[in-house]
Amino acid sequence: MPRPRAADFDDKRRQIRAAAALLFAQKGYDRTSVGDIARACAMSKPLVYHYVASKEDLLVAIIADHIEDLTQRVRRAARRAAPEGRLLAVAQALLDGYRQTDALHKIHINELARLPAPAQASLMAVERELVAIFSDALAAAVPELAGSPRLTAVTMSLFGMLNWHCMWFRTDGPMSREAYADLATGLIVAGARDLAARQAPVAAA
């Protein structure tokens, strides 16, 4: 009969993930050795391998945890908001989530491409709910978009704006994260309404 896991097994694993996430964000995945991670945890390298199957597994777990955390924040924001304000609320929640987990966002953006295709696909599956929440909120804000073949492209446009934000945003700049979430959703909603109007000009009026 296999010996049961120590009571603090999951704690240790979390500690390793947190330490690894910091190092991956600072130096990049390939330049971080498992020995670096062990040192940061004051563990031996073999002990790290007691809690973690492989370095690659560790990266996948870190990114998956991050996406699940974002999804939870965004889902909560969507639930709380009225349909009219839902898109702004989820955009705010996403950018706010990036603020709190900025190292994790960096790992997600920079290291995902380094994973083999199956691991990437499984992470994209985890991301699907997050995308769906945004699609639904967009369709609620611009009803003409619901069921449109352009809904996907418009949703991804908004994701592009929000995810690219980290590339140019400065904390000491003139525009806060909240203001940018407001600007981005405003651009998308007004743009999508205009698009719908041009698609079906004077349908009913």
**What is the spatial distance between Cα 54 and Cα 47, in angstroms, rounded to a whole number?**
12
Angstrom distances, CA of residue 65 to CA of 34, 37, 197, 198: 20, 18, 40, 41
Count of CB atoms within 10 A of residue 47's CB? 14
Q: What would the x/- binding string for a copy of itself be over residues 70 to 99, using CB under 8 A?
A: ------------------------------
Any contact of residue 134 with a copy of itself (CB under 8 A)? no
> What six digits make up the tokens of 171?
């904390």
Q: Closest approach of Cβ 16 to a copy of itself, in Å?
A: 22
**What is the spatial distance between Cα 152 and Cα 131, in angstroms, rounded to a whole number?**
9
| 55: partner contacted, choices DNA, a copy of itself, none (Cβ within 5-8 A by kind) | DNA
**What is the spatial distance between Cα 161 and Cα 159, in angstroms, rounded to a whole number?**
5
**What is the spatial distance between Cα 172 and Cα 174, in angstroms, rounded to a whole number?**
7
| 121: partner contacted, choices a copy of itself, DNA, none (Cβ within 5-8 A by kind) | none
Nearest to 136 by CA among 198, 79, 186: 79
Applying CB under 7 A, the site for DNA has a residue count of: 22
Q: Which is nearer to DNA, 6 or 125 (CB)?
A: 6
Among 11, 14, 44, 99, binds DNA (CB under 7 A): 44
Q: What would the x/- binding string for DNA be over residues 51 to 90, using CB under 7 A?
A: ---xxx----------------------------------
Whether the Cβ atoms of residue 76 and residue 93 lie closer than 8 Å to each other? yes
Among 1, 4, 118, 168, binds a copy of itself (CB under 8 A): 168
Q: Which is nearer to a copy of itself, 72 or 120 (CB)?
A: 120
**What is the spatial distance between Cα 136 and Cα 146, in angstroms, rounded to a whole number?**
8
| 157: partner contacted, choices a copy of itself, DNA, none (Cβ within 5-8 A by kind) | a copy of itself
Chain residues that interact with a copy of itself, rule: CB under 8 A: 28, 30-31, 106, 110, 113-114, 149-150, 152-154, 156-157, 159-165, 167-168, 174-175, 180, 183-184, 186-195, 198
